[in-house]
Amino acid sequence: MAKLTIDLATSAEVLGTTPDSFLDWLKREHLHSLLYFNDMPQISIFTLARILDTTPRELVDFLEETEIEDRLDLRDTLEAIAESERLGEQPVSWESVVGDLV
């Protein structure tokens, strides 16, 4: 199964900031973007790509060219992105799901 999330520390490294600063910013500006698994904050590659104003494919391509790639298994991720592109699917935004509840 493809892993479509990146841990907070790696996400912060990609952005050139610290995990604590990134987490504080996310809590203020994009609280809905935080995903918690086993009490550890994760960021969707789709959200991180949107923050960087790029596509998930370009983000994964970039990660593959860096030393960060050694810490991530991107093969399945690329396959999942390719399948999503093939089907013309876009990730559903959290706002569209919960609407005025948030």
pLDDT tens by residue, 36-68: 888 888 888 888 888 888 888 888 888 777 766
Per the structure, the complete domain to which residue 74 belongs is given by 5-89
**Residue 101 domain-assigned (yes or no):** no
More confident residue, 32 or 21: 21
**Residue 9 domain-assigned (yes or no):** yes
Q: What angle do CA 7, 93, 57 make, to 5 degrees?
A: 55
Q: Please report the pLDDT score of residue 24 as a whole number.
A: 92
Q: Please report the pLDDT score of residue 102 as a whole number.
A: 42
Q: Which helix (H) or strand (E) holds 44?
A: strand 40-44
**Residue 100 domain-assigned (yes or no):** no
**Residue 64 domain-assigned (yes or no):** yes
**Residue 67 domain-assigned (yes or no):** yes
**Residue 12 domain-assigned (yes or no):** yes
